């Protein structure tokens, strides 16, 4: 196994949706032993601590239904996007960044920054989106106004993100693969049907398995000499095994399916950056979701079946 320099970047983003708690996510991953797990696999680990968003003054945006809270959340998310884009671009110079979220709006910045770095390196960026949701909205199409539902729309270059940092290197739609979908509203579905994004919902997984579509996507990444950003949302998993998320959708991936995805990612050697998002420790049961996410990260970085720890939550 090739040793990696893993750079942990805490992103306590809690501005992308209404239900608070994701700001505690980065420290929950640390408490669950993420750094020791990666070091036990022979990797070096550098923890940059928790970042802060760049200050962003109110810009006169009226918000959704005149809601001042959403105006604040939008401006804070803009600040996070700028800070995380630069952090991703900087970290990729020396290692594999692991973004510890934080809600999924952090991916507006992490993916945009990875795309900027890939462009400088003369390589295309690909994105594997492991999520119950497509997050393909824009601030204009979202009924809720929650910005954690917009990152894919942002980094693929959709319109409607006035005031956000310019997306200098949008990720081509055909370079995005979504696996695990099971909650897609009408506007997103119609937008996706007119796109070239690869989508695999849980019915497709039930009927065909999870390895096939993933391997086909990874073959495309390898053939293009691409860099691969993986964004893993807690709600990719079934809430029976990962309850610590504010957007539970029954029927998600099993523990074995999720580990298989991560094992295949490691075998491919293609992953260059990773998000761990939407962990809300306030909703967890004795840390079980945080531990599972740490185990999945370890699988993506080389932990094999026989190396897994046995856990008891009694």
Active site residue 104: yes
Active site residue 295: no
Active site residue 278: yes
Q: Which of 76, 233, 284, 295 is catalytic?
A: 233
Determine contact, residues 104/131, Cβ cutoff 8 Å: yes
d(CA 299, CA 285): 22
Active site residue 233: yes
Backbone angles phi, psi at 220, to 5 degrees: -65, -40
Side-chain-side CA neighbours of residue 9 (13 Å) = 30
Active site residue 135: yes
- End-to-end Cα, the chain, rounded Å: 34
Q: Which of 43, 56, 148, 291 is catalytic?
A: 148
List CB contacts of 184: < 8 A, sequence separation 6 or more.
133, 134, 192, 201
Q: Which of 14, 89, 103, 131 is catalytic?
A: 131
Q: Which of 76, 103, 235, 257 is catalytic?
A: 235
Q: Which of 278, 284, 291, 295 is catalytic?
A: 278
d(CA 100, CA 104): 10
Give catalytic residue positions.
104, 131, 133, 135, 148, 233, 235, 278
């Amino acid at each position: 196994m090739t040793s990696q320099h893993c750079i942990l970047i805490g992103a306590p983003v809690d501005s992308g949706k209404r239900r608070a708690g994701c700001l505690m996510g980065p420290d929950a991953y640390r408490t669950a032993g993420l750094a020791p797990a990666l070091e036990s696999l022979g990797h070096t680990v550098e923890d940059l601590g928790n970042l802060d968003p760049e200050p962003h003054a109110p810009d006169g945006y009226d918000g959704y239904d005149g809601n001042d809270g959403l105006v604040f959340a939008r401006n804070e998310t803009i600040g996070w996007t700028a800070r995380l884009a630069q952090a991703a671009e900087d970290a990729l110079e020396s290692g594999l960044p692991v973004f510890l979220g934080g809600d999924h709006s952090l991916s507006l910045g992490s993916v945009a920054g990875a795309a900027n770095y890939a462009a400088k390196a003369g390589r295309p960026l690909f994105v594997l989106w492991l999520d119950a949701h497509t997050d393909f909205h824009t601030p204009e199409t979202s009924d809720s106004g929650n910005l954690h539902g917009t990152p894919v729309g942002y980094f693929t270059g959709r319109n409607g993100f006035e005031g956000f940092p310019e997306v200098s290197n949008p990720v081509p739609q055909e370079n995005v693969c979504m696996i695990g979908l099971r909650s897609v509203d009408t506007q997103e579905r119609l937008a996706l049907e007119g796109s070239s994004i690869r989508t695999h919902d849980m019915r497709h997984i039930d009927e065909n398995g999870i390895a096939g579509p993933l391997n086909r996507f990874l073959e495309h990444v390898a053939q293009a000499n691409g860099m691969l950003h993986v964004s893993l949302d807690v709600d990719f998993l079934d809430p029976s095994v990962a309850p610590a998320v504010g957007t539970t959708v029954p029927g998600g991936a099993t523990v074995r399916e999720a580990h298989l995805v991560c094992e295949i990612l490691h075998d491919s050697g293609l992953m260059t950056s990773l998000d761990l998002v939407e962990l809300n420790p306030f909703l967890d049961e004795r840390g079980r979701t945080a531990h599972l996410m740490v185990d999945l990260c370890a699988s993506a970085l080389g932990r094999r079946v026989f190396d897994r720890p046995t856990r008891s939550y009694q």
